[in-house]
Amino acid sequence: MSGPVLQARDVTLRFGGFAALDKFNLEVRPEEVHGLIGPNGAGKTTSFDVITGVYRPNEGSVLLEGRDITRWRSHRRTRAGIGRSFQTVGLAPGLTSHGNVLATVEAVQRVWAPFPAPAARARRRAEADELLAFFGLQDVADTQVTELPLGLTKLLELAKVFAGQPKVVLLDEPFAGLSTGEASERVKLISERRKQARTGVVIVEHDVPLLLDLCDTLTVLDAGSVAVSGIPHEVMSDAAVREAYMGEVVEEAGV
């Protein structure tokens, strides 16, 4: 049995006197999809910021495959295998779909040789092709991203997060603005991809029914701390969670 791919241990992050994260804990296994929910301002996005090195925590540590990466810079974490998508669109506007995915492959593999070896270049291009095909984006590979409709933009972002063979990916509201049909399709793609590539996934999403379909584990964050964590259906039947955090959403989901 392999150990966790990602761990956050008792992470506290303060902005002035306010603790956005307060002894926050998270553990993600390879291939696991781990949902993170909680009210606005609970610290979900901030937890991604600490894991990716945007902020250094005041206390606690972040581990990747058991290695302490708490003091590593962001780009080193990216190269070590942490992928991330943002709550707002994070694509390079001057590039095509293929160019965007390729840029991530190159960033992860730290390509800066002015004349890279043709074989290495071909391998990276093939990786970008494979990702676009996996996510059904082959037909828009050469389209400028500024010309893509929102649905495809979000799908391309998803493909880009999985570029460079990450060990764990962090997805911040990847289904925002999508129809239920589109979102369910993406649930399938994420689920399949993490199995195929053995990638751990942490996903922040307000749509609880979708998370129940996708996640192996669900963690509820409240005021920077974990309120409850466990098997999704058990977490959602926790009376306090139903009342305090999810209200009508839970009733609509029929859980």
Ligand X SMILES: Nc1ncnc2c1ncn2[C@@H]1O[C@H](COP(=O)(O)OP(=O)(O)OP(=O)(O)O)[C@@H](O)[C@H]1O
Q: Which residues bind ligand X (CB under 6 A)?
A: 15, 20, 38, 40-46, 87
Tell me the window of 8-16, 25-33, 44-52, 223-231 that interacts with Mg ion (CB under 5 A).
44-52
The smaller minimum CB distance to Mg ion, of residues 159 and 170, is found at 170
Interface with Mg ion, residue 86, by CB under 5 A: no
Write out the chain in H/E/C secondary structure: CCCCCEEEEEEEEEECCEEEEEEEEEEECCCCEEEEECCCCCCHHHHHHHHHCCCCCCEEEEEECCEECCCCCHHHHHHHCEEEECCCCCCCCCCEHHHHHHHHHHHHCCCCCCCCCHHHHHHHHHHHHHHHHHCCCHHHCCCEHHHCCHHHHHHHHHHHHCCCCCCEEEEECCCCCCCHHHHHHHHHHHHHHHHHHCCEEEEECCCHHHHHHHCCEEEEEECCEEEEEECHHHHHHCHHHHHHHHCHHHHHHCC
Please report how close the Cβ of residue 144 comes to ligand X at its closest, in angstroms: 29
Interface with Mg ion, residue 45, by CB under 5 A: yes
Tell me the window of 37-45, 65-73, 91-99, 237-245 that interacts with Mg ion (CB under 5 A).
37-45
Tell me the window of 31-39, 42-50, 64-72, 93-101 that interacts with Mg ion (CB under 5 A).
42-50
Instruction: Say which entry of Mg ion, ligand X, none residue 66 contacts (CB below 5 to 8 A, set by partner kind).
Output: none
The smaller minimum CB distance to ligand X, of residues 55 and 134, is found at 55
How far out from the chain centre does Cα 219 lie? 14
Please report how close the Cβ of residue 41 comes to ligand X at its closest, in angstroms: 4
Instruction: Say which entry of Mg ion, ligand X, none residue 70 contacts (CB below 5 to 8 A, set by partner kind).
Output: none
The smaller minimum CB distance to ligand X, of residues 87 and 165, is found at 87
Please report how close the Cβ of residue 46 comes to ligand X at its closest, in angstroms: 3
The smaller minimum CB distance to ligand X, of residues 15 and 126, is found at 15
